[in-house]
Amino acid sequence: MEYQVMLPVKDRETIEKLRAGDTVRLSGTLYTGRDAAHKRLCALLAEGKELPVPIDGQGIYYTGPAPAPQGHVIGACGPTTSYRMDAYAPALLDLGQAVMIGKGLRSEEVRQACVRNKAVYLAAPGGAGAYLASCVKECEVVAFPDLGTEAIHKLKVENMLLTVAIDTQGNSLYDIGREQYRQK
């Protein structure tokens, strides 16, 4: 199935329909964040401080965009390997984050946090940084500018084509794919 999803997510019914393997066309406001930014966000949480970006209903794309070439909003922005955020993701999901975007396997803790919080993990195609950049209509650094490309960017995206890798029931496309391969 293919679904349109708008960020930020206003109600979880939208993403509760999604199943591992479904296609999503994502639009709206989304934030970037890699491991350095996630580490800082969780340090702020540990100190009881306010986060510099809204989390509830929001999506975080695990990317560090390349500088924008002349005439473009953003440079290539392919996904980074998601497991590097696994130590931090459950805390943000528990605050209401609805969507994570990256590539590769996730830990059991992240999968359980998706179930607990009715959140999803969407896989972006590796090697498609130019395509993904074409979906970005606006980009601005909004937190941790000293991190360079790993700063948190606020993106406006339109019809970013992604695949549900972990759904709100904890089903993982990676497990499903392996099982289908074994059965062949």
CA 12-103-2 angle, to 5 degrees, is 45
**Which are the contacts of 90, defined by CB distance < 8 A and separation ≥ 6?**
109, 110, 112, 113
Nearest to 142 by CA among 30, 46, 35: 30
Cα separation, 105 vs 102, in Å, equals: 9
Q: b or e along 136-146 (b: 16 or more beta carbons within 10 Å of the residue's beta carbon)? A: beebeeebbee
Cα separation, 62 vs 27, in Å, equals: 16
3-state DSSP call for residue 96? coil
Report which DSSP code applies to 78: P
Rounded to the nearest 5°, which phi and psi values hold at 67?
-55, 145
Is 38 annotated as catalytic?
A: yes
Q: Which of 34, 38, 40, 153 is catalytic?
A: 38
Q: Catalytic residue numbers?
A: 38
